[in-house]
Chain A
Amino acid sequence: MEKAGIPAAHICTVTPISKTVGAARIFGAQAIPYPTGDPHLSREKEMARRREIVTGALALLTSSDKSVDGESNAVFTD
């Protein structure tokens, strides 16, 4: 998708895999079975966590900086 000209952020838990296969924008998810949720949280808190992940990943779409949010959440240019 990036090659086709559409910025795409990969929300995943095992971010090194995503980096190994060459993804350009990667955002760390909550957990493998629930990347954008957390069944251990209350409904409200779960939605807050989801918002955090989704808006964080969306922010990567607007950025060309090498690092947007620390190590795992980043746009990779090398």
Chain B
Amino acid sequence: MKKVLFYTNQFFGQVGGEDMAYCQPEVTEGMRGSANTFGAPLKDTAEIVATVVCGDNFYAENMETGRAFLREQIEKYHPDMVIAGPAFNAGRFGIACGDVCKTAKEMGVEAITGLYEENPAVEMYKKDCYILKVGKSAAGIRKAVPLMAGFAKKLLTGEKIGSPKEEQYYAKGQRVNLFREKNGAERAVDMLLAKVNGQPYETELEISTYEKVEPSTPIADLSKAKIALCTTGGIVPFGNPDHMVAATAKFWKDYALGDAQRLEQGQWESVHAGFDPVYANEDPNRVAPYDMLKILEKEGVIGSVHPFLASTTGNSTSVADATRMGQEIARRLLDAGVNGVLLTST
């Protein structure tokens, strides 16, 4: 019989609601709260030996403590697998589940969770563990439990794991070698024939689809417009006081430029790890052309320059994070009465 350690939050662990979101992690022998729903579908294969319950705020704000607690329980119970959640579209709970799974995997213990596709934790943790696709809210638990329990049993018994589509987990970004009866050329021709004949076919490599953005109303008179400068070139004050990351940024910074006329060498640098920053460090205006905007302001070509640089690192940044940061920056610029934006990318 395999052993499963279950993780859930204060709500599903029946400690309490949002008022208990700061409750510290605690462990109960056997099943507690939503763990009970997994008991029956797992039986014959695995037993839930203990349930860890932790408040959403507590885990999100004290991740190291949460991890340490989990590690202790893993050392105590020696589970074959950790099952966390499902957390549906819950932000903090989702991140806790992802982090719990990642921590377990780091200790060599298999771990799975279940999240809704838009839960930011999917993007954050899908490479670290299997995340099963579940509904948006707890109303989806009836479908989520058999899906997750069935997948858990496969993993526990060493059964072959199918494709993300077959098993309904988020693709982990791994390439797996497999043998096919027909070679690539034959399969491509089959696919093309099916397509021209109007028959169903399935791509073997899905290309991400992006939304096309409609241009907004153009600026009527540049000489009266307030222009802001944004960059994804990782330009930060020298020494990087805010610890801007070199890749996969999830935040941006708004740097006040006061009455500076340009970005001076030695006062600014690029922390972007996706290009050689030598030229940008020599002259940061090569990435964020603040000097030229100030010149054009003096010449009256543009009305004024918004005296801030909105900066982040655009290196393997997820579309979801980039979209969110763009929305945040837009709100800030609207509040500042900005009429137009130049956004530079490296």
Contacts and interface: CB of A to CB of B under 8 A. Distances in A.
Contact of A75 (B212, B215, B341): B215
A64 B211 contact: no
A24 B217 CA distance: 11
A33 B346 contact: yes
Contact of B287 (A2, A10, A18, A34): A34
B217 A62 contact: no
B222 A2 contact: no
Nearest to A65: B218
6 contacts: A5-B217, A33-B276, A37-B283, A38-B286, A47-B292, A54-B342
What class of interface size applies to chain B in its complex with A? 35 or more
Interface of B: 210-220, 222, 225, 227, 230, 233, 275-280, 282-283, 285-289, 291-293, 295-296, 301-302, 319, 326-327, 329-331, 333-334, 338-346
Contacts, number: 161
B71 to A, nearest CB: 40
A11 B345 contact: yes
Interface string A1-22: 1111111111111000010111
A58 B220 contact: no
Interface string A33-75: 1111111000000010011011101100111100000000001
B276 A7 contact: no
A75 B213 CA distance: 11
Kindly list the 8 A-B residue pairs having the minimum CB-CB distance in the complex, ordered from nearest. A37-B286, A4-B330, A8-B341, A24-B215, A34-B286, A36-B289, A12-B345, A61-B340
Contacts of A36: 285-289, 292, 344
B287 A7 contact: no
Given A35-B287, A61-B340, A1 B329 contact: yes
A4 B335 CA distance: 11
A39 B287 CA distance: 12
Contacts of B319: 21
Nearest to B302: A58
A63 B319 CA distance: 27
A23 B212 CA distance: 7
Contacts of A2: 213-216
A13 B278 CA distance: 18
A35 B345 contact: yes
Contacts of B282: 39
B146 to A, nearest CB: 37
Given A1-B330, A62-B220, A7 B213 contact: no
A18 B335 CA distance: 26
A66 to B, nearest CB: 10
Given A21-B210, A22-B213, A54-B296, A7 B289 contact: no
Given A33-B276, A58-B302, A75-B215, A6 B222 contact: no
Given A33-B275, A58-B227, A61-B340, 19 more contacts: A1-B329, A4-B331, A6-B333, A7-B216, A7-B339, A7-B340, A7-B341, A8-B342, A10-B343, A11-B344, A20-B210, A33-B279, A34-B287, A36-B292, A37-B283, A37-B286, A37-B287, A58-B302, A64-B217
